[in-house]
Amino acid sequence: MIIAVRFRAFNSLFPHVCMLCDQRCESNSNIDLCEYCRDALPWIRHACHRCAEPLPLDAIDSRVCLTCAKNPPPFARTIAPLRLESYPRHWVHQLKYGAGLAEGRLLGTLLADHLTKTYRPEELPDYLVPVPLSWLRLAARGHNQAVIIAIPIQRTLHIPLLRTAMIRKGHVASQQQLSRYARLKNLRGIFVAQREFSGETIAVVDDVMTTGATAAAIASALLAAGAGSVHIWCPTRTLLS
């Protein structure tokens, strides 16, 4: 009780300030964006249930895109609420290549808030697993951006975070210019589960969903380790079309 009172007093003295317009945020908000700037972000309003690719208006009643209908991916569901453009693109870049821990916390908090509106409590996965980095990339960056994003989700949804459940064997070059097929070939066998599962649902956390190659590779490794189902959670999505 005393801690709660002190926390409310601290919030009243030092309220959240919007990272975009420097205005004071709502007193009950844990997101460092004002309501106006938050609503102005490039939200994806209607997307494929499996891969989170935005669906056209004439497919508003569809749950999956044509690609996923013809070739279902190994993951059962993807949540990626923001298009990778404008401020979200900048935040992801800062998180990956700069000292963007505040941006990472914001991305994770936005995603966590979106998840609370998307899942019923009984539908939530059993574990969070961040996409691992190679030791070379981890040494260069000093942090794993997927872990930074996963921490606010863990705190909001109270799902256990398994930071070392997966490892990445070796190092692959940047895949930004590769096709989906080339990415899949590049990632074959690179993710290895460090533990066995018994039919649990796992939510894999990453910063960006692009072609789905990384998501497919890590989902396949988790399913091979005994997971019952895999969901992919990313704050942002690259538009493929």
Q: Is the distance from CB of 138 to CB of 144 less than 8 angstroms?
A: yes
Given a cut of 50, the residues of the chain with pLDDT beneath it are 1-13
Q: Which of 148, 130, 134, 142 is nearest to 206 (CA)?
A: 130
Query: What is the CA angle 150-94-12, rounded to 5?
Result: 65
Q: Where are the domains of the chain?
A: 1-40, 44-237
* pLDDT, position 98: 84
Could you say which architecture CATH assigns to the domain 44-237?
Answer: 3-Layer(aba) Sandwich (3.40)
Read off φ and ψ for residue 164, nearest 5 degrees: -115, 20
* pLDDT, position 100: 84
Q: Is the distance from CB of 73 to CB of 212 less than 8 angstroms?
A: yes
* pLDDT, position 103: 95
The 10s digit of each residue's pLDDT in 137-176 is 888 888 999 999 999 999 999 999 999 999 988 655 555 5
Read off φ and ψ for residue 29, nearest 5 degrees: -95, 140
Sign of the CA dihedral 198, 217, 67, 239? positive
* pLDDT, position 56: 82
Can you say whether residue 80 is alpha, beta or left, with left for phi > 0 and alpha for psi between -120 and 50 degrees? Answer: beta
Cα-based torsion angle of the residue sequence 131, 134, 138, 140 in order, rounded to the nearest 10 degrees: -140
